[in-house]
């Protein structure tokens, strides 16, 4: 986070860190830390570590963050591009719609993993049935 702790300067290229931009975008979106962490499916302390520049999210979480916070991925990572909207200036449906899209992306990812697991179990069951039939 920027050393001065003042969010007025958080967008300045020479001062802002990833954590500063994340914090500012979260606040501009009107989200609490716990609320955003829950939407992302991460622990509160994980999000806090990102905002404090103690850790960095993986690529899939970066994309989700950008979508949920209504900022470009480029701006979130580098500070280059448009700043997030000031609190209360986003159209009423934009933030909930972006959060719903991020939820869909997370669910789709979970479903992909579940389908792969289902395929694996189905394959094992098929092998067991073939073995049983051969022994009968």
Write down the pTM of the prediction. Answer: 0.57
Q: CA neighbours within 13 Å on the CB side: how many for 29? A: 25
Percent of the chain with pLDDT over 90: 33
Any idea how long the chain is? 136
State mean pLDDT over 84-103.
62
For residues 81 and 55, which has the higher predicted lDDT (pLDDT)?
55
DSSP 6-57: -GGGTT-TTT--HHHHHHHHHHHTT--HHHHHHHHT--HHHHHHHHTTS---
Instruction: For residues 6 and 78, give the distance between their C-alpha atoms in angstroms, rounded to a whole number.
Output: 19
Cβ–Cβ < 8 Å for 9, 41: no
How confident is the model at residue 115, as a pLDDT? 92
Domains of the chain: 7-135 (1.10.260.40)
Q: pLDDT digit string (tens) for 11-52?
A: 555 678 999 999 988 988 888 999 999 988 999 999 999 999
Confidence class of residue 95 from pLDDT cuts 50, 70 and 90?
low
Count of H-run helices and E-run strands, the chain: 6, 0
């Amino acid at each position: 986070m920027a050393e001065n702790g003042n969010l007025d300067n958080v967008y300045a290229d020479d001062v802002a860190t990833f954590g500063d931009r994340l914090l500012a975008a979260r606040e501009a979106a009107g989200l609490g830390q716990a609320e955003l962490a829950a939407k992302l499916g991460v622990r509160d302390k994980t999000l806090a570590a990102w905002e404090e520049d103690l850790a960095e999210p993986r690529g899939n979480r970066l994309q989700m963050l950008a979508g949920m916070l209504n900022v470009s991925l480029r701006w979130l990572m580098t500070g280059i591009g448009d700043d997030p909207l000031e609190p209360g200036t986003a159209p009423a449906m934009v933030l909930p719609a972006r959060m719903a899209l991020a939820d869909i992306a997370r669910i789709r990812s979970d479903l992909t993993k579940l389908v792969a697991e289902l395929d694996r179990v189905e394959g094992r069951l098929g092998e067991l049935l073939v073995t049983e039939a051969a022994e009968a």
